[in-house]
Amino acid sequence: MNKKTLVDELLQDRKKFISELQLLEEVKAILENNELERQEIKEKLKTKSSTNVNKFEFDLLETDKIFHINQIKKVCIDYRLRFLDSNLFKNEIPEEAITKISALEKAHETSLEGFKIIAPSKAFQLINYDDPLLFAPIGNDYYYLIHKWGNDLVWYRKLMVSPFKNLMNFVVFCGIISAVIIAVSPVDDLSKDVPMAPIILFLFMFKAVIASIAYYFFLMGKNFNSEIWDRKFKEN
C-alpha cells in the first residue's frame, strides 16, 4: 500500500463534505468580503469624521498604547509635529495599519472612526489661509495607538526645533546667540573708555538678533510649536 501523508488524509476527508467548486466559491466570497472591509476602512481614513469616542472592550486594551491628549501635545510641541485628522494625511497609509484596524474592530466588535495621525507638517495636506503614528479616540481626550510606521525621529530633531517651541525658548535662544557674538567680538578696548560696554553692546546685539530672527520667522508665516501642533492650516 502507498503511504499516505497528512495532506492526503485532509484532502480525502474534505471531499466528503464539500466539492472543489463549492470550496473555491466560498473562499472567493471570503476574500471579496475581506477586501470590501479593507476598502471601507480606507474610506473612513480618508473621510473627515466628527467622532471623538469609540466603543472599546476595556479588558482587551493594551495600557502601553493609551495616551492622553496632554502627552500627545507635549511630544508634538517638543518635536514640532502635527496631530491631525487622518483625512488630511497625504501620504499612503500602509496595508499593515489597515490590517490592525480590521483586527481591532473584530476583537472589540465595533466600527472605529475619528482616526488621527501624528506626523511632520509636510506629511499633511494642510489648508491654506488664502516618521507617523495612527490613533483612534477612546473618549475623554484619551487616544489608542493603532500603528506606527516610517522611520524613527532623528535624535537631534528635538534640539533643532527647541528654539521655536515657545516664546520663552525663542527669547533664550536669541540671548545665547547675542552672547556668543559679543564673546567673540573685540570689546576689551572699548571697555576702557565706556563703562559696562559689554552689557550695553549685548543689549544692542540682543535687540538686533531678536528683531532679525523674528522678522524672518514670522515673515515666512511660521509660528511656535505650541501654537501649531493641532492646526489644520499651512505655514507659508
- 65-74, 76-85, 218-227: the lowest-pLDDT one: 218-227
Instruction: Tell me the pLDDT band of 130, cut-offs 50, 70 and 90.
Output: very low
Same domain, 106 and 213: no
Q: Where are the beta strands (DSSP E) in the chain?
A: 66-68, 82-85, 116-119, 133-139, 142-148
- Give the dihedral sign, CA 96/102/105/108: negative
Residue 236 lies in a domain: no
Q: Same structural domain for residues 16 and 81?
A: yes
Q: CA-CA distance, 124 to 98, in Å (whole number)?
A: 19
One domain for residues 37 and 98: yes
Task: Check whether 70 has a pLDDT greater than 90.
Answer: yes
Would residue 96 count as lying in a domain? yes
Higher-confidence residue of 210 and 190: namely: 210
With bands split at pLDDT 50, 70 and 90, how would you rate the model's confidence at 120?
confident
Q: Express each pLDDT in 135-169 by its tens digit.
A: 889 988 889 889 888 776 777 888 888 888 888 99
- Domain hosting 122: range is 1-153
Residue 54 pLDDT > 50? yes
At 212-232, the pLDDT tens digits run 888 878 777 688 888 888 777
Residues 104 and 203 in one domain: no
197 and 222 together in one domain: yes
Give helix 167-183 / helix 197-219 axis angle, nearest 10°.
130
Choosing from 123, 153, 183, the residue where a domain stops is 153
**Which of the listed residues 116, 138, 153 is the one where a domain comes to its end?**
153
pLDDT value at position 69?
A: 92
User: What's the confidence (pLDDT) of residue 183?
Assistant: 81
In sequence order, the 6+-apart residues with CB closer than 8 A to the CB of 214 are: 170
Residue 97, all three cell numbers: 495599519
Query: Which position has the higher pLDDT, 50 or 126?
Result: 50
Q: Report the number of distinct structural domains present in the chain.
A: 2
Percent above pLDDT 70 for the chain = 77
Is the separation of the CB atoms in 57 and 109 below 8 Å? yes
- What sign does the dihedral 83-87-93-95 (CA atoms) show? positive
C-alpha angle 171/173/174, rounded to 5°? 65
List, for residues 34-49, the tens digit of each pLDDT value: 778 888 899 999 988 8
**Same-domain pairing of 90 and 114:** yes
What the block records as the C-alpha cell of 85 is: 485628522
Indicate the pTM of the whole model.
0.68
Whole-angstrom distance, CA of residue 158 vs CA of residue 138: 28
Domain end marker among 122, 153, 184? 153
Residues 18-23, mean pLDDT to the nearest whole number: 64
Do 75 and 34 lie in one domain? The reply is: yes
Q: 93 burial class (0-12, 13-18, 19+ CB within 10 angstroms)?
A: buried
Residue 233 counted as domain residue: no
Output the pLDDT for position 71. Answer: 92
Higher-confidence residue: 18 or 112? 112
Could you write out the DSSP letters of every residue in 134-177? EEEEEETTEEEEEEE-SPPPPTTHHHHHGGGSSHHHHHHHHHHH
DSSP label at 230?
T
28 or 128: whose pLDDT is higher? Answer: 28
**pLDDT at residue number 117:** 93
DSSP string, 20-31: HHHHHHHHHHHH
Q: Do 118 and 187 share a domain, yes or no?
A: no
- Averaged over 3-15, what is the pLDDT? 64
Say how far apart CA 6 and CA 3 lie, in whole Å: 10
b/e 197-217 (16+ beta carbons within 10 angstroms → b): bbeebbeebbeebbeebeeee
- pLDDT category at 66 given cuts 50, 70, 90 is very high
Residue 43: how many CB atoms within 10 A of its CB?
A: 9
- Asked if pLDDT for residue 122 goes beyond 50, the answer is yes
